[in-house]
């Protein structure tokens, strides 16, 4: 699961929204959101921004800055 995907899923669940509901509000396929949440698809910044607005979440809370240390930790796993 990607960091961005994790944050989107977390915000979606916190808001009580299903994949289907979020997909409809964003105008994308339910499968696309699922794949973003699982880290199988990379979401463009415009999608992340739109999702943040729909989920009433600060953009900076959803997007993640990858540090060298975090990247090394992820590679070890």
Tell me: the pLDDT tens digits for 18-58?
Answer: 999 999 999 999 999 999 999 999 889 899 999 999 999 87
CA-based angle 45:1:11, to the nearest 5? 60
Query: Which CATH superfamily includes the segment(s) 3-76?
Result: lambda repressor-like DNA-binding domains (1.10.260.40)
> Structure pTM?
0.73
Would you list the domain boundaries of the chain?
Answer: 3-76
């Amino acid at each position: 699961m990607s960091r961005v995907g994790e944050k989107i899923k977390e915000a979606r669940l916190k808001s009580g929204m299903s994949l289907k509901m979020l997909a409809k509000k964003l105008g994308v396929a339910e499968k696309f959101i699922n794949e973003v949440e699982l880290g199988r698809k990379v979401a463009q910044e415009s999608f992340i921004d739109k999702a943040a607005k729909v989920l009433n979440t600060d953009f900076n809370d959803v997007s993640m800055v990858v540090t060298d240390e975090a990247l090394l930790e992820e590679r070890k796993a």
